[in-house]
């Protein structure tokens, strides 16, 4: 398993929102011609979610839904900062079996658009970090899985010691098992 640059993961898009700062504060444009083209890649939203993670060093993920339930994700860090990670589980992708990271600070005003077939997660780098998600596919518990973010074969060097992680994530699938689950569903 090897790491690549975030932008090299097939289908990933990154948008830096335009902003202006003056003595009143900031004005940020999230919806303009560039963002319309960016969001046109999204199949639509089945839901919008918001996470608040109180403790720096917490890990959420690496989550994925298989096959027909696979979801595109729009990810925006609204407050705090995150070490964001994606793992490519798509057998036909040129970046299959590769992972990538990007550090996002709220003040960077970055939006990530992630294609279907990636496992996604992050570690919070600050207390009280808030992340907004747009999801293209409804959550289906029978198709929802967690890839263990500590799986040694991934070789992810998380920047902080892990303070909080859910039982589901810490007991998540080994990488090869996640690949197997995705492959089973693709061939059915």
User: Which residues does the annotation mark as catalytic?
Assistant: 63, 133
CA 83 to chain centre: 10
Considering Cα of 136, then 139, then 145, then 148, what sign does the dihedral take? positive
Using alpha carbons only, how large is the chain's radius of gyration in Å? 16
CA dihedral 28, 55, 99, 156 (to 10 degrees): 140
Q: What is the DSSP letter of 185?
A: H
Reference 165, options 123, 102, 104; nearest CA is: 123
E-state strands within the chain: 2-3, 13-16, 18-22, 25-29, 47-53, 59-65, 73-79, 81-88, 98-105, 110-114, 118-124, 129-135, 144-146
């Amino acid at each position: 398993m090897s790491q690549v640059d975030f932008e090299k993961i097939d289908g990933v898009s990154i948008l830096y929102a335009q902003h202006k700062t003056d003595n009143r504060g900031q004005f940020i444009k999230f919806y303009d011609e560039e963002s319309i083209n960016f969001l046109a890649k999204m199949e639509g939203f089945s839901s919008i979610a918001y996470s608040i993670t109180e403790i720096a060093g917490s890990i959420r993920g690496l989550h994925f839904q298989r096959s027909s339930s696979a979801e595109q994700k729009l990810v925006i860090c609204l407050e705090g900062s995150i070490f964001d990670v994606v793992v490519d589980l798509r057998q036909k992708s040129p970046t299959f079996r590769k992972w990538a990271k990007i550090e996002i600070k709220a003040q960077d005003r970055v939006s990530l658009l992630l294609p279907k077939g990636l496992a996604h997660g992050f570690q919070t780098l600050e207390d009280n970090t808030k992340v907004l998600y747009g999801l293209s596919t409804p959550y289906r518990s029978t198709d929802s899985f967690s890839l263990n973010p500590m799986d040694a074969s991934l070789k992810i060097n998380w920047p902080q010691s892990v303070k909080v992680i859910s039982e589901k994530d810490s007991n998540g699938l080994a990488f090869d098992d996640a690949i197997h689950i995705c492959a089973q569903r693709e061939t059915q």
